[in-house]
Amino acid sequence: MFGRKGKEKKGNYAYAVARVKAKKAQLMGEDTYSKMMLMSLPEISRFIGESGYQKEIAALAGRYEGVDLIEHATYSNMANYFRGILEATTGELHDMLASYLEKWDIWNFKVVLRGRSFGMNAEDIKEDLVPAGKLDQQALEKLLSLESEEDIIAAYGKAAGVVFPADLISAYKESGNPSELEDFLEKDHYDTLLRSIDPSSRPTRLFQDYIRKEIDIKNVETILKLKAEGIHGEEVMKYIIPGGKQIDKKLATQLANAETLSAAANDLAPLDFYDDIKEALDETNSLRGIVAGMKKYHIRQAKTFSHLYPLSVIPIVDFMIHKENEVNNIRIIARGLNSGLDLDVIKELLVI
Amino acid sequence: MELGLIAIGAGLAVGLTGIGAGWAEKDVGAAAVGAMTEDASLFGKGMILMVLPETIVIFGLVVAILAVFVLGA
């Protein structure tokens, strides 16, 4: 009953959730974003430097300024938070979170591989890394120090436990285009993540549902983006991630085959997030509005179940979603102000 | 014989409530330490929440004392 083995398997929910709840209390509220929109960039840097991002702003202020400082500080802060949480968890909780955070490993792998193939120097690539996943800064630097791109792929596969199909590697060697490898990683990530969640309890089932809805949103985003570029049919289906909740292969094919965005709108009608994207679909037909609508839906989904099961993986994932959202919102405000966007446009882009 | 059974009952009252309190404190303590890691000022609140399950043992102790001194007398 008190065996170490059993405890390791289950995970330290009480400890991790208490830490995460304390961290969540420090996240920014809606009114803070409105306040930030009226500030200048140095004011924003100082403001976030006084509210949770002190360490990162202080460490990076000597090297960057303006938008760059804000972007690097926010990402670095998020990476520190996520890694901190990951290191503080054990058992199945750790496994689920590690699988969830694998998306940042994929992000870093993409940064390293693309950086190398474009001939960037290691220092510049290092600046764009976000070590928020299983691979820490040291592991990523080791990856970066490898001689060839094939070595990087092999070393990443070993470190992250991914087996790349040989034909993808040889195709990459021939074309030098890593997009197929990246698509494979994305699909593999969701497959591993869904498999790492044991759906025997209600909270884990909710988490699984949440991830499957995320897959739906990603697929719709992919379909609409490709449609905007004039790509339809089979070509689109290559990029569809299996495992979605509402969008099965049939519906995905239907959406992919629709000639225009408006034609696809009818097929989207039965989906849960249709109400959030309806306005953008009907009136403006803007991809930006649709994507922002889907993100808002996704965040709302996380909010609906975040209070349901206090001793489960849900409050932790909920915090991660909100932290990532906060970081994205700060970056949107900073980038928007820097490029002189209208405040209303920035407001529309924010996910609150 | 009867006194022996009373002593066993008293022992069970304290022992089982002790296990119950420990079981409850396991999660409360872990959560309190987690909260304190983030904010050291939560020590007071954490401490109070931590000792609340101890009241179960006090009930057990009262039952044990009653058993030994009232029934055993």
What is the per-residue pLDDT across A255-286, written as a single tens digit (0 to 9) for each?
Answer: 888 777 777 777 788 888 888 887 777 766 67
More confident residue, A298 or A94: A94
**Per-residue tokens: A35:** 């306040």
Query: Number of folded domains in chain B?
Result: 1
Instruction: Give the pLDDT band of residue A75 (cuts 50, 70, 90).
Output: very high
Cβ-in-10-Å burial (0-12, 13-18, 19+) of B55 comes to exposed
Average per-residue pLDDT in chain A? 86
CB contact under 8 Å between A14 and B39, yes or no, is: no
Is the CB of A323 inside 8 Å of chain B's CB atoms? no
What is residue A5's predicted lDDT score, i.e. its pLDDT? Answer: 44
pLDDT at residue A43 greater than cutoff 80: yes
Rounded-to-integer distance, Cα A327 and Cα A346, Å: 15
Residues of B in contact with A19 (CB under 8 A): 34-35, 37-38
CB contact under 8 Å between A18 and B39, yes or no, is: no
Is the CB of A22 inside 8 Å of chain B's CB atoms? yes
Residues of B in contact with A311 (CB under 8 A): 27
Percent above pLDDT 70 for chain A = 96
Rounded-to-integer distance, Cα A86 and Cα A109, Å: 19
Domain that holds residue B17: 2-71
CB contact under 8 Å between A15 and B39, yes or no, is: no
**Per-residue tokens: B12:** 């069970």
Instruction: Please report which helix (H) or strand (E) contains residue A120, including its range.
Output: none
Per-residue HEC secondary structure of A245-294 comes to: CCCCHHHHHHHHHCCCHHHHHHHHCCCCCHHHHHHHHHHHCCHHHHHHHH
Q: How far is A160 from chain B (nearest CA, A)?
A: 29
Nearest to A314 by CA among A232, A238, A162, A208: A208
Nearest to A312 by CA among A89, A146, A72: A89
ipTM over 0.85: no
Is the CB of A15 inside 8 Å of chain B's CB atoms? yes
CB contact under 8 Å between A14 and B30, yes or no, is: yes
* Closest chain B residue to A14, measured at CA: B31
Instruction: Give the pLDDT band of residue A1 (cuts 50, 70, 90).
Output: very low
* Closest chain A residue to B33, measured at CA: A15
Residues of B in contact with A16 (CB under 8 A): 34
pLDDT digits (tens, 9 = 90+) for B2-47: 889 999 999 999 999 999 999 999 999 999 999 999 989 999 999 9
- CB contacts < 8 A (A, B): 35
More confident residue, A72 or A310: A72
Find the mean pLDDT for residues A128-142: 89
CB contact under 8 Å between B32 and A22, yes or no, is: no
Is the CB of A24 inside 8 Å of chain B's CB atoms? no
Query: Which CATH number belongs to the domain containing residue B18 in this structure?
Result: 1.20.20.10
pLDDT at residue A115 greater than cutoff 80: yes
Q: CB-CB: which of A12, A17, A19 is closest to B37?
A: A19
DSSP 8-state secondary structure symbol assigned to residue A241: P
What is residue A296's predicted lDDT score, i.e. its pLDDT? Answer: 83
Residues of A in contact with B37 (CB under 8 A): 19
